[in-house]
Amino acid sequence: MEIDDIELKSNLFLAPMAGVTDFAFRSLSREFGAGFSYTEMVSSKGLIYSKNNDIYEKMLYTLPNESPVAVQLFGNEPDIMALACKHPLLQKFDCIDINMGCPAPKIIKNGEGSALLKNFKLAEQIVKICVKESNKPITVKMRTGFETGSNVSLELGKILEEAGASAICLHGRTREQFYSGEVNYEAIAKLKSALKIPVIGNGNVVDVPSYNKMLETGCDAVMIGRGALGKPWIFSTLNPETTKADIEINKKEVITKHIKLLKQVYPERFIVTHMRKHLLWYVKDIPCASQLRLKLCRIESIKEALTYINEIF
């Protein structure tokens, strides 16, 4: 598929996830077959007004094997969003995605993320000005609606397409559902049928059956979020072109490489605290590892982490 002139070799996308999809995790996912990936969401206001560029330089660090890659912005002020689109740190990205789906209370409180589902006019203004001021494709990630049972995706999707969006990713849940409950596959199918631009389906894709179910909507690509936590190789398991031999996974090697990649940018103290959650995800399905998981919660050094990983594997 293509997003404007960006040619993508796979219809499997890694979702933007706060605190997760840094350059290391994205790079691993791309090695395992993800065709496109996104940074964790970046505050447009923070990017413009921050006096500490080091934070954003690290957050927006990329590796060569990530190309093409998108940056995701969040905000609710059209002029600030437009300025952010032109920020020097964003020029290396192939695409700019606008977050209209984050359900976090602190984001909603500021009228950002999923709150834009209740303000069509503002959502339209943001997309219009970002398209006008940026030389990159502008895409949107959104949910079906705000309240449980609501569905504004078709109406808003048409508005955003008209405003110039190059693709829309629809998470088939409302804001109030957060990440639980049934996915509204019908809403994704209807949006795909109504729009000319690509539609990416998102929500609860964790294995081959759920992947195939999402494809039945007719969506152009499938975005995977929580299904990739501790399993960046999920993209290999879903790719019909890979064989069983291709997806033999050495988890110990993957974890070691994850840590090694992070060391290119971050100090040990950050890596230790950051990797605790990742390590727990990596060992989640391993039987009889409860005591070692408890130890992983308390690691104080990279050496200690690798020692426990050696024990587990």
Residue 208 identity? V
Distance CA 254, CA 183 (A): 31
Q: Mind listing the pLDDT tens digit for each residue in 29-61?
A: 999 999 999 999 999 999 999 888 889 999 999
Average pLDDT, the chain: 94
Vertex 172 angle, CA 167 and 173, to 5°: 130
What does the pLDDT average to over 63-69?
95
Catalytic residue, from 95, 102, 130, 169: name it.
Answer: 102
2-245 under CATH 3.20.20.70, yes or no: yes
Q: Where in the chain is the domain with CATH 3.20.20.70?
A: 2-245
Higher-pLDDT residue of 131 and 287 is: 131
Give the pLDDT score at 242.
Answer: 64
Output the CA–CA distances (angstroms, integers) from residue 150 to 72, 147, 174, 207, in the order listed. Answer: 25, 5, 7, 27
Q: Where in the chain is the domain with CATH 1.10.1200?
A: 251-312
Output the CA–CA distances (angstroms, integers) from residue 184 to 148, 168, 173, 280, in the order listed. Answer: 11, 16, 6, 30
Q: Mind listing the pLDDT tens digit for each residue in 149-158?
A: 899 999 999 9
Spatial contact of 198 and 220, defined as CB atoms under 8 Å apart: yes
Q: Right CATH number for 251-312 from 1.10.3470, 3.40.1350, 1.10.1200, 1.10.10?
A: 1.10.1200
Give the pLDDT score at 239.
Answer: 80
pTM of the complete model? 0.94
Higher-pLDDT residue of 308 and 114 is: 114
Distance CA 13, CA 225 (A): 9
Spatial contact of 54 and 88, defined as CB atoms under 8 Å apart: no
What does the pLDDT average to over 289-310?
86
Banded pLDDT at 289 (limits 50, 70, 90): low
Tell me 38's DSSP state.
Answer: B
Q: Is 169 a catalytic residue?
A: no
